[in-house]
Amino acid sequence: MQFNLKKIDPEVAKLIVAETKRQRYTLDLIPSENIVSRAVLEALGSPLTNKYSEGYPSRRYYAGNAVIDDVEVLAQERARKAFRLGKEWHVNVQPYSGSPANLAVYVGLLKPGEKIMGMSLPFGGHLTHGWKVSATGKFYTAVQYTLTREGYLDYDEITKLAKKEKPQIIVAGATAYPRVIDFEKFAKIAHDVGAYLMVDMAHIAGLIVATAHPSPFLHADIVTTTTHKTLRGPRGAIIFANRNSIIAKRRDIDIASAIDKAVFPGLQGGPHDNQTAAIAVALKEADMPAFKKYGHQIVKNARALAHALQKLGFQLVSGGTDNHLMLVDLTNLGISGREAQDKLESVGIITNRNTIPYDTRSPFDPSGLRIGTPSLTTRGMKEREMKLVASFIHEVLTGANAGAVGKKVIALCRRFPLKY
């Protein structure tokens, strides 16, 4: 019997068509979103979704997992290859997404109530870096570092805070920080107080693979990442654990085993094997020469977009960007992040409202917009198109010629179509 989605469930089929059309004819400037290949989609929609495989390769609780073992080992090997790592790095590709991956590190290496130190959410950090409403802030004691008024990390202040609080894990990483993070400095800060350095590279993983951003692997004890965003794979996550971690050895902990046990059986049941296969496909794509060009073009595009926006009078937190994203401070325009987001969406430009450092507005209606270039770069756009996009944003938010922008957006999307 052949199954056809349109026949079996026309309602869902219609919604998928509608969402695909929306993606085709809008400019996606959300830094955490991207466009996967057909090959990744094929793996996600494969019969691997039928299998149950609790455990790890060669140590499963179900029969019939020989092929699944090969898929998972392949994903692990490709992760090491893409990030230029040796066997001292243990790789777990089973976390369902970035948040459970980060939580698994804490569960594996800390006791409840022990201390995490991470970037404060309103300053660009992530919920799972110890923010109070997250499980990571409820089950562990959280200490938060912030940014300077200019929007930069202050490593001297972070050092002072670490010496005062003596956390067990320091997290380096962000969701809305447009500058390069100095992982070497973070490692010294962490190791000087006896803490693990955990790097959450979810946003910049694809840039690191492409050598468009410094790598954390020379300095970190643990590295986590999602597999979408700049890495351009499916929704999922990877945890890398350094078997040579001086902190783990000092604490007499088998860091690889501790993290594996935290993922399964600690937090999850069986992995999503179709997701694991899609991660493997994305990692193979990331190891191709074209991916390096793509990663560097993301940064070039972000800098071009930032520069064009500044020339049009927009203020950017920290004055620019070193990576894939920028944070626009809308205060001088007299509009909120939510208002700007809604106006832009009405003409097909998709952004997300975001707090800025020392924001006085509510997180639901903050003073900033977070925008990035991964999706537009995947579509093939370059610096010239970034200038156009900046002009579109300016026209909409200043009311100069907002009505005509929607047609211009569709025309640009047609010049750089999706592959499906």
Residues known to be catalytic: 52, 54, 200, 226, 229, 235
For residues 224 and 198, what is the distance between their CA atoms, to the nearest angstrom?
A: 7
Strand bridging mode 349-350 / 27-28: parallel
**57 — alpha (psi -120 to 50), left (phi > 0) or beta?**
beta
Tell which residue, 411, 419, 396, 220, has the closest CA to residue 314.
396
Helix segments in 262-370, DSSP class H: 273-286, 289-311, 337-346
Angle at 354 between CA 352 and CA 357, to 5 degrees: 155
CA angle, 246 then 249 then 254, to 5°: 120
Residue corresponding to tokens 């975001």: 354
Structure tokens, 93? 């590709």
**390 Ramachandran zone, left/alpha/beta (phi>0; psi -120 to 50):** alpha
Q: DSSP H helical segments within 233-288, as ranges?
A: 246-250, 255-261, 273-286
Distance separating alpha carbons of residues 354 and 179, to the nearest angstrom? 16
Amino acid in position 216: P
Rounded-to-integer distance, Cα 103 and Cα 135, Å:
8
Tell which residue, 350, 348, 351, has the closest CA to residue 407. 348
Name the pairing type of β-strands 315-316 and 237-242.
unpaired
Both tokens of 282, joined, read 């994305």
